[in-house]
Amino acid sequence: MLAFCLGIWLFSRVPVLPPWPVSNVVWLLLLVAVLLPSLWWWLPVNRWRLPLLTGLALILGLVWCWLHAVRQLEQQLPRELEGVDFWGAGQIVSLPSPRGQFQQFELTLKSVCFRLHPRDCPPSTGGSETANSAVAATSAAAATSAAAAKMAGARITLNEYTGLTLWPGEHWRFRVRLNRPHGFANPGGYDFEAALFQRGIIARGYVRDTVFNERLTAAGPGLQSARAGLRARLYQQAATLTHRGVLSALILGDRDGVSAAQWQLLTQTGTNHLLVISGLHVGFVAMTAYALVNLLVRLLPALLLWLPAQHYGALAAITAALVYSALAGFSLPTQRALVMVLVLMSGQLLGRRFMPSYSLLLAATLVLLLAPMSVTQAGFWLSFTAVGALLFAFTGYRRAPAEQGAGLSRRGLWSRSWGRSWQQSGRDVWFRWLQPQWTVSLGLLLPLLLWTGQVSLISPLVNVLAIPLVSLLIVPLALLGALLLVSLPALASGPLWLADRLLAWLFTGLDIAAGLGPALWQPAPPTALTMVLAMLAVLLMLAPRGLVPGRTSWLLPLCLFAPLLWPADRPRPAPGEAQLQFLDVGQGLAVVVHTRHHHLVFDTGPALGPQFDTGRAVITPYLRMRDVRQLDMLIISHWHQDHSGGAASVMAQFPVRQRLAGGAMAGGAVAGSAMAGTAAEPGFERCRAGQRWRWDGVDFEILHPATDVYRGENNNACVLLITAGSQRALLTGDIEQAAEHDLLRRYSREPAALRADILQAAHHGSASSSSPAFVQTVQPTLTVVSAGYRNRFDHPAPDVVQRLRANGSVVCETPRTGAVQIELGAADGPRLSATHRQRYRRFWHNIPPNDYGKVATVSAGGDICGRDRDGGWLVDAADNSVFHSGDCDCH
């Protein structure tokens, strides 16, 4: 089992899948699956038997993960259909999630149709148009249709903006526009594409606004429909409750109602696992059901003639875990807990006691058998590490009967003394409550540092009180309220109100605990050697009693922890050199500049909603990974939200010594601007041409703006020139041709002053910037374009890219490369040292080709309008998608 799990993990590290079709992989899997048990039975017991069988199990894990991956990738959205409108019919399979201006849901596709009018589509009972249909008029259309036919049964994520009433289980036909899953790719960042691949999401997009979107069938009885009904009743009944969103998370695993501030507080105190349906809650519910049924069935002796009381308890535990996991929609954490309950209770039903390590490995094997890609998610490692730490720490030597009897006699004597009685009570509290929390916290130390870069210092003490409160009081009350909502709604308000009051006390206590001092420890990223030494220290500290002899058994682990507590200095640029990191923030800009002892952030990327911005999601994790404790300067080129959206989050996490900002805004958005702006933050000094400073032998100079007479916010953006020796980098923000012409005019007598080896393409490579004269004057050897994947502005413009390449510049586009790292000032010249997508490539990552298309510049929405008089091709109202139809009326 261990070799099988290891094989799955090894395959998850593969950058590109071998070019084998599904059928070949299936035959290979069958061969290994038949060979493994055959050799188990027929090989004689010798020294080669175990290594050979272990190797085959490893290969079995590799091939199983390979089959899962290649089957899902064969269903992925064809590139020809990205940004193209078509009809998709399917079933809503998730709870619609409100996200401010839109609602998000998951749809399992049953069929797709490329006709212009939905009445020309085949019945949506399954399947898709094939290459024999009218759409297959060309070989390219036939290939697209054949690829689309494989999408039947695939799952997509859609955003809906018009407020349609959606219900899980309903069948709909939507006019959709989709893209392949594509997330940010940055050092220290979250792999969003891995999470979507693990969930089986093959495309993301939105529903077009048209009157032809149609509900095909109503929702029938089903799990997701029942969950939606319970959520609706909960929000209706608990409208006056303060924490109804948290109650929904505890009952249904629906986190949408948990605010960002609440989630941040839970993270600081290490209690976020308590406020969702986690493995802990599923285990408590199962154990409670086991204990109650095991006790109650003994009151009915007739039942014991059929089965032992323990078997009834085991069946009740399995049923309770199954029902509670179903309430959560069988999310990945509940799947893991359910499998663990099944493994443990099967031992009861079979009359066998499995070794703890066997149970843990069997649970991990079953989880990876069902969902191989869960090995890429932090939850898998954290949950199994926590259980493994508890099993390892509490599998100690048992005291001999004589020792136990001596302990009982001593306790009898101590009971006569109040002091010794309190001493014994303290030991009981330690072993029953504090030691498990200490064990889990210590066991999760390294996984948390690897996955999140931070550890809650107060988590062990807070969880001692929070776990009993949530698991023994709040969760039972919430579940009782949910049961009453279904059966006796009039009585549900009492338990829900009491659970809400307990939650209020819990959050008040967490807020007090977080305010007592530093709640989070965020050390420097550990090296491989540091991690190995710290792992040995954790094992020694959790080792069962008697395994590490001596009275100073804590001394060796403390010494092994020293490199983690006092890390060595990280590699830094040499004096006179600078390192530039162009972060991948989508349709925005964020550049971090490092010198030997200083750090500068130029723009902070966009805010994509009230609970997400790239300052918190991209820049902060990157700076933590680089062990940056403070910023020497923060420059906001101008106050459009795609450049300043993450500023508040960055300033909240890091002290900033100096702040500069450009732009024409005095306190808000410019009226009529193309891009919504954010209010100018206080405490920023306006950047002006001529400002200069020098850090560690590297020179910085503001070249623009010189005056306040420029029209438009973009032309008032800061332009920063960085000089390391004879090498230069020019950061231009969003300046357009008017500002470029002003720079050329002011430096007309010394055009060499504008030359730079590295250029940040102005305004994301827009056609309104990077004029021929400006590009010829700068003469960059490398240009970085920071833009969003298939953005609606068509950035970068093809003419701009061609112009840069014609002038001898290499062009890096962040949608293709991810974050771009450049070394400036080195002896071998400006060096492109890393592109994140290529360096850390995995087979599920979406790496667009050089000529990948963009979406239409016309905004989405509007009804279909067109007439096919000659039986030819039609173009939709957005002037983007091509369809074929025998006849179509204009609506």
HEC string of 344-370? HHHHHHHCCCCCHHHHHHHHHHHHHHH
Res 373 pLDDT > 50 = yes
Question: To which H or E segment does residue 73 belong?
Answer: helix 49-74
User: Mind giving me the DSSP string for 768-783?
Assistant: TSS-HHHHHHH--SEE
User: Mind giving me the DSSP string for 494-550?
Assistant: HHHHHHHHHHHHHHHHHHHHHHTS--EE-PPPPPHHHHHHHHHHHHHHHSPTTSS-S
Per-residue pLDDT at 609:
75
Residues 6+ away with beta carbon under 8 Å from 243: 500, 503, 504, 507
Q: With b meaning 16 or more CB within 10 Å and e meaning fewer, what string describes 461-486?
A: bbbeebbebbbeebbbbbbbbbebbe
Question: To which H or E segment does residue 693 belong?
Answer: strand 692-695
Res 250 pLDDT > 80 = yes
Residue 610 contacts residue 260 (beta carbons within 8 Å): yes
Q: State residue 494 phi and psi, 5-degree precision.
A: -60, -60
Distance of alpha carbon 536 from alpha carbon 286, whole angstroms: 34
Q: Which of 23-27, 448-452, 529-533 has the lowest mean pLDDT?
A: 23-27
Tokens 């979107």 correspond to 213
Residue 492 contacts residue 558 (beta carbons within 8 Å): no
| Topology of domain 578-663+684-848, CATH | Metallo-beta-lactamase; Chain A (3.60.15)
Q: Which of 334-343, 468-477, 668-677, 784-793 has the lowest mean pLDDT?
A: 668-677
Distance of alpha carbon 840 from alpha carbon 557, whole angstroms: 33
Mean of pLDDT values over 671-676 = 38
Q: Using pLDDT thresholds of 50, 70 and 90, give the confidence band for residue 142.
A: low
Mean of pLDDT values over 577-602 = 96
Per-residue pLDDT at 270:
84
Per-residue pLDDT at 432:
61
Residue 172 contacts residue 178 (beta carbons within 8 Å): no
Distance of alpha carbon 710 from alpha carbon 203, whole angstroms: 42
Q: Which of 597-601, 604-608, 838-842, 866-870 has the lowest mean pLDDT?
A: 866-870
Q: How far is CA 877 from its chain centroid? A: 35
Res 576 pLDDT > 70 = yes
pTM: 0.85
Per-residue pLDDT at 546:
64
Q: With b meaning 16 or more CB within 10 Å and e meaning fewer, what string describes 592-607?
A: bbbbeebbbbbbbbbb
Q: Using pLDDT thresholds of 50, 70 and 90, give the confidence band for residue 429.
A: low
Q: Using pLDDT thresholds of 50, 70 and 90, give the confidence band for residue 859.
A: very low
Q: State residue 648 phi and psi, 5-degree precision.
A: -60, -40
> Which pair of structure tokens corresponds to residue 256?
């949408």
Q: What percent of the chain is helix, strand and coil (3-state, nearest 5)?
A: 45, 15, 40
Residue whose C-alpha is closest to residue 4's, from 69, 63, 71, 68? 63
Q: Using H for helix, E for strand and C for coil, what is the string for 596-628?
A: CCCEEEECCCCECCCCCEHHHHHHHHHHHHCCC
Domain boundaries, the chain: 1-75, 79-117+141-220, 230-394+433-521, 528-565, 578-663+684-848, 849-890
Mean of pLDDT values over 37-61 = 80
Q: Nearest 10 degrees: CA dihedral of 126, 132, 138, 141?
A: 10
Q: Using pLDDT thresholds of 50, 70 and 90, give the confidence band for residue 137.
A: very low
Distance of alpha carbon 576 from alpha carbon 595, whole angstroms: 8
Mean of pLDDT values over 725-741 = 94
The terminus-to-terminus CA distance of the chain in angstroms comes to 61
Residue 844 contacts residue 855 (beta carbons within 8 Å): no
Q: Using pLDDT thresholds of 50, 70 and 90, give the confidence band for residue 133.
A: very low
Query: How does pLDDT run across 643-654, given as a tens digit for each residue?
Result: 999 999 999 999
Distance of alpha carbon 25 from alpha carbon 423, whole angstroms: 63
The pairing of strands 633-636 and 659-661 is: parallel
Per-residue pLDDT at 148:
67
Res 332 pLDDT > 70 = yes
Distance of alpha carbon 109 from alpha carbon 75, whole angstroms: 11
Residue 659 bridge partners (DSSP): 634
Residue 205 bridge partners (DSSP): 158, 178
Per-residue pLDDT at 399:
44
Per-residue pLDDT at 649:
93
Per-residue pLDDT at 114:
87
Q: Using pLDDT thresholds of 50, 70 and 90, give the confidence band for residue 553.
A: low
Distance of alpha carbon 598 from alpha carbon 628, whole angstroms: 9
Q: Report the sign of the C-alpha dihedral through residues 163, 164, 167, 173, in that order.
A: negative
Per-residue pLDDT at 27:
81
Q: Using pLDDT thresholds of 50, 70 and 90, give the confidence band for residue 826.
A: confident
- What is residue 710's three-state secondary structure? coil
Tokens 């629906």 correspond to 254
Res 469 pLDDT > 70 = yes
User: CB count, 10 Å around CB of 89?
Assistant: 25
User: CB count, 10 Å around CB of 132?
Assistant: 9
Residue whose C-alpha is closest to residue 68's, from 149, 128, 14? 14
- What is residue 389's three-state secondary structure? helix
Tokens 């200490």 correspond to 438
Q: Which of 23-37, 120-134, 635-649 has the lowest mean pLDDT?
A: 120-134
322 residue type, one letter: L
Res 82 pLDDT > 60 = yes
Give the CA distances from residue 791 to residues 186, 614, 787, 864, in Å, rounded to whole numbers and listed in that order.
19, 17, 7, 23
Query: How does pLDDT run across 275-328, given as a tens digit for each residue?
Result: 766 677 888 889 889 999 999 999 888 888 888 899 999 999 999 999 988 888
- What is residue 63's three-state secondary structure? helix
For the chain, give the mean pLDDT. Answer: 82
Res 891 pLDDT > 70 = no
Res 486 pLDDT > 60 = yes
> Which pair of structure tokens corresponds to residue 726?
């004879």
> Which pair of structure tokens corresponds to residue 282?
């599923």
Tokens 């797709």 correspond to 112
CATH entry, 79-117+141-220, from 1.10.8, 1.20.1630, 2.40.480, 2.40.50: 2.40.50
Per-residue pLDDT at 224:
86
Tokens 């401010």 correspond to 100
> Which pair of structure tokens corresponds to residue 119?
């009445």
Q: Nearest 10 degrees: CA dihedral of 30, 31, 32, 37?
A: 90
Q: State residue 512 phi and psi, 5-degree precision.
A: -65, -45
N residues, the chain: 891
442 residue type, one letter: L
181: left (phi over 0), alpha (psi -120 to 50) or beta: beta
Q: Which of 208-212, 480-484, 752-756, 878-882 has the lowest mean pLDDT?
A: 878-882
Give the CA distances from residue 323 to residues 167, 292, 352, in Å, rounded to whole numbers and listed in that order.
21, 16, 25
Q: Using pLDDT thresholds of 50, 70 and 90, give the confidence band for residue 383.
A: confident
Distance of alpha carbon 307 from alpha carbon 265, whole angstroms: 48
Mean of pLDDT values over 773-777 = 94
Mean of pLDDT values over 68-85 = 90
Q: State residue 790 phi and psi, 5-degree precision.
A: 50, 50
Distance of alpha carbon 502 from alpha carbon 519, whole angstroms: 23
Percent of the chain with pLDDT over 70: 84
Per-residue pLDDT at 410:
44
Q: Using pLDDT thresholds of 50, 70 and 90, give the confidence band for residue 433.
A: low
Residues 6+ away with beta carbon under 8 Å from 154: 75, 76, 108, 109, 200, 202, 203
User: CB count, 10 Å around CB of 277?
Assistant: 25
Tokens 């995995």 correspond to 842
Per-residue pLDDT at 427:
57
Distance of alpha carbon 422 from alpha carbon 735, whole angstroms: 73
Res 21 pLDDT > 70 = yes
User: CB count, 10 Å around CB of 231?
Assistant: 21
- CA-derived radius of gyration, the chain: 31
Residues 6+ away with beta carbon under 8 Å from 635: 600, 601, 602, 603, 659, 660, 661, 687, 718, 720
Provide the 8-state DSSP code for 18: -
Residues 6+ away with beta carbon under 8 Å from 569: none
Res 748 pLDDT > 50 = yes
Q: Which of 258-272, 275-289, 668-682, 691-705 has the lowest mean pLDDT?
A: 668-682
Residue whose C-alpha is closest to residue 701's, from 682, 722, 686? 722
